[in-house]
Amino acid sequence: MQAVKRRIAAIAVLAAGLAGPALAVSPASAGNGTSSVGCSTGDSCTAMLQKMVTFGGRNYAPGGGGNTVVDITPPPCLWEPLGGAHQGSQTILAQYGTNPPDLFEIPMSVRQARTLVSSQPETPGEWYELPANPADNAAQLQACAALPLFDWVPPGQAPRGVNIPPQTLAQLAVGVMRLPDADQMILNPARTTYTNLPTFLRVTLGGRHYTNGGLPYAMVTAALANVAATVWAVPSRLEVSASGGAQYTPDTTNCGYLGSTEIGTAAAQNVGPGTPIDCGVTFQSPATWQLTATMTWRACWAPVNGGPPPAPAACRPVPGAQLNGTVWRNQIVANEIQSVNNGNG
């Protein structure tokens, strides 16, 4: 009966607020232990929202993609998942199965729970409970107080009173997007080079990703009811640096997304000292050098009208998204070129 008491207390506060000064909006803990004013990836508020949403795309990671998104705006009616047809129904019947109070549509929910609790096969969907949310303002409290205490929601639908805009869906999609991993760093020459002789560099990506015209990217779609968004992670062109010796020159003006496109071509086989290359480095001092290649990612999104766009389109940044970069490392030895005096010294 605690949920009913919380709801009645919220209505009492609402009535007092409407009769006197307006309720102030301030951060407060919701029933799931989080603030309803804003969510970030990894907290229970986001987990609750993600459970309502249907995700798709090669880069969807159900356990979370390791990215950070802040300032996700949850709906004012912050429903909490109770469980599926069997577990959620058992919870409702255990609390209100005998003499259910005639409040907040509880008798109707009890009758529905009795039907779902023994369904075979188990009916797909989720039960939700709507506790009082003290962070809501007066209008939000009034809207949520008119909703039932429990709501049975089929897959792909939202609980009553929940309207998640496409930008919020995009933020949630970033939280479950897994970026490609660093795979190989390919060098030419491979292990040993000479000072002033250019070294070509190219990298490969591991894990699932898409490619369009040489552009690698990740994609996740998110949908709830009739609202949907597509999110892409788009990389920067490769950045190359080196450490371990005294002096080197990066040749990165024409680096592609994955580095050099000349490895394996005649241009790489016939290159001489001091010749500019498309992507790599030239060492001016002998040493065992460590090469580092870095790809940064940005997240952008677009609302879905019909089918999701197959490749990154004109899209806007995802607010609050912070994506991890992809880093490759490899070693190469640069030796000094020995002069030849033709036996005259």
**Residue 56 in domain:** no
Q: Does the pLDDT value for residue 187 go beyond 70? A: yes
Q: Does the pLDDT value for residue 334 go beyond 70? A: yes
The larger pLDDT score, comparing residue 307 to residue 300, is at 300
Judgement on whether residues 230 and 198 belong to the same structural domain of the protein: yes
Residue 229's domain comprises: 181-335
Round to whole Å and give the CA distance between 295 and 210: 16
Judgement on whether residues 130 and 226 belong to the same structural domain of the protein: no
Q: Which two tokens stand for residue 325?
A: 């970069």
**Residue 90 in domain:** yes
**Residue 329 in domain:** yes
Q: Does the pLDDT value for residue 19 go beyond 50? A: no
User: Which of 70-84, 117-131, 134-148, 226-240 is predicted least confidently?
Assistant: 134-148
Residues 6+ apart with CB under 8 A from 323: 67, 174, 179, 233, 296, 297, 298, 299
Round to whole Å and give the CA distance between 255 and 239: 8
Of 162, 195, 225, the residue that ends a domain is 162
Closest CA to 50 of 140, 169, 145, 160: 169
Of 112, 129, 162, the residue that ends a domain is 162
First to last CA, the chain: 101
Alpha helices in the chain (DSSP H): 2-19, 44-52, 85-96, 106-116, 138-145, 166-175, 266-269
**Residue 9 in domain:** yes
Q: Name the pTM for this structure.
A: 0.78
Of 162, 194, 217, the residue that ends a domain is 162
Rounded to a whole number of angstroms, the CA Rg of the chain reads 29
Q: Which two tokens stand for residue 131?
A: 């506790």
Judgement on whether residues 127 and 191 belong to the same structural domain of the protein: no
**Residue 97 in domain:** yes
Residues 6+ apart with CB under 8 A from 94: none
Judgement on whether residues 112 and 186 belong to the same structural domain of the protein: no
Judgement on whether residues 260 and 313 belong to the same structural domain of the protein: yes
Confidence of residue 26 (pLDDT cuts 50, 70, 90): very low
Judgement on whether residues 202 and 111 belong to the same structural domain of the protein: no
**Residue 206 in domain:** yes
Judgement on whether residues 231 and 97 belong to the same structural domain of the protein: no
- Model confidence over 67-78: pLDDT tens digits? 999 988 877 777
**Residue 265 in domain:** yes
Predicted pLDDT of residue 11: 54
The reply to whether omega before 180 is within 30° of 0 (cis) is: no
Judgement on whether residues 189 and 270 belong to the same structural domain of the protein: yes
Judgement on whether residues 156 and 185 belong to the same structural domain of the protein: no
190 SS3 class: coil
Angle at 204 between CA 202 and CA 210, to 5 degrees: 130
Judgement on whether residues 194 and 127 belong to the same structural domain of the protein: no
Over residues 44-64, the mean pLDDT reads 86
Judgement on whether residues 126 and 254 belong to the same structural domain of the protein: no
Query: How many domains does the structure of the chain reveal?
Result: 2
Judgement on whether residues 117 and 222 belong to the same structural domain of the protein: no
**Residue 137 in domain:** yes
